[in-house]
Amino acid sequence: MRIEEANPFAYEFALARTALVLIDMQRDFIEPGGFGETLGNDVSLLEAIVPATKAALQAWRNAGGLVVHTREAHSPDLSDCPPAKRNRGNPTLRIGDEGPMGRILVAGEPGNQIIDALAPVDGEIVIDKPGKGMFHATSLHELLQQRGITHLLFGGVTTEVCVQTSMREANDRGYDSLLLEDCTESYFPAFKAATLDMIRAQGAIVGWTAPSAALLAALNNAT
């Protein structure tokens, strides 16, 4: 398959070798009362990408593509949360503190669940990651290698933090990655715009970007 409209040039992928990766579409970042809000952010901005992300997920599922969901999640004893991460800044609640949706950024808590609209279904990979990047301290690279995955389509939040970190990690591991422009968002619109630019600069130094409609069209044309 080929996404002609991708930037900085056309992106080619084989369905069987490609995974759709949705980064951290969890209540902690998207709903009030979670980690995103404790850091001082207006979380309402992030909701806007849910319809396009849901449509891309549905089309990808219909095509039979592999789906990966990640969650930024720490174990309840916080043994995988470095003090530097927990203690930085001046949030209203820190990682592990009790908040309105349970303990902040802790696995299994209500706030740590992926939002209902994008909830994983049987057969999809769900990765709890203690870092910003999806390969740090996870088994994801091995799981993708076992399945012969070479290409990754990304959506999720936030663009310049967990999404960009994961794309850079993927780049160094040899994956060809494309970020779906309307399926990712930041609390800072200028940071989203800058991230899209820096990903595709210098001849796709990190990867490609494209609107999700271009992916849907490629999938439609293939059937």
Task: Tell me which residues are annotated as active site.
Answer: 24, 129, 162
Q: How far apart are CA 124 and CA 192, in angstroms?
A: 27
Say which DSSP state 163 is in.
I
Residue span binding ligand TIU (CB under 6 A) among the ranges 79-87, 95-103, 154-162, 211-219: 154-162
Q: How far apart are CA 88 and CA 10, in angstroms?
A: 41
**Is residue 161 a contact point for ligand TIU (CB under 6 A)?**
yes
Report the residue number, 69 or 132, with the smaller CB distance to ligand TIU. 132
Residue span binding ligand TIU (CB under 6 A) among the ranges 61-69, 73-81, 157-165, 169-177: 157-165
In this chain, which of 49, 114, 149, 162 binds ligand TIU, going by CB under 6 A? Answer: 162
Residue span binding ligand TIU (CB under 6 A) among the ranges 108-116, 120-128, 142-150, 153-161: 153-161
- Decide if 23 contacts 70 (C-beta within 8 A): yes
In this chain, which of 157, 183, 196, 219 binds ligand TIU, going by CB under 6 A? Answer: 157
Residue that has been written with the tokens 């849910």 in this structure: 50
Token readout for 86 is 């927990």
Q: How far apart are CA 84 and CA 94, in angstroms?
A: 12
Q: How far apart are CA 176 and CA 80, in angstroms?
A: 29
Min dist. Cβ of residue 69 to ligand TIU (A): 12
Min dist. Cβ of residue 146 to ligand TIU (A): 25
**Is residue 72 a contact point for ligand TIU (CB under 6 A)?**
yes
Strands (E), 73-214: 98-99, 102-103, 125-129, 151-157, 176-185, 208-210
The H or E element containing residue 146 is helix 140-146
**Cα 208 to chain center, whole Å?**
15
- For ligand TIU (CB under 6 A), the number of binding residues is 10
Residue span binding ligand TIU (CB under 6 A) among the ranges 1-9, 155-163, 168-176, 195-203: 155-163
Hey, which residues between 32 and 51 contact ligand TIU (CB under 6 A)?
39
In this chain, which of 21, 22, 24, 140 binds ligand TIU, going by CB under 6 A? Answer: 24
The H or E element containing residue 56 is helix 50-63
Which positions ≥6 away from 213 have C-beta within 8 Å?
A: none
**Is residue 158 a contact point for ligand TIU (CB under 6 A)?**
yes
Measured at CB, which residue is nearest to ligand TIU? 162
Residues within the interface to ligand TIU (CB under 6 A)? 24, 29, 39, 72, 132, 157-158, 161-162, 187
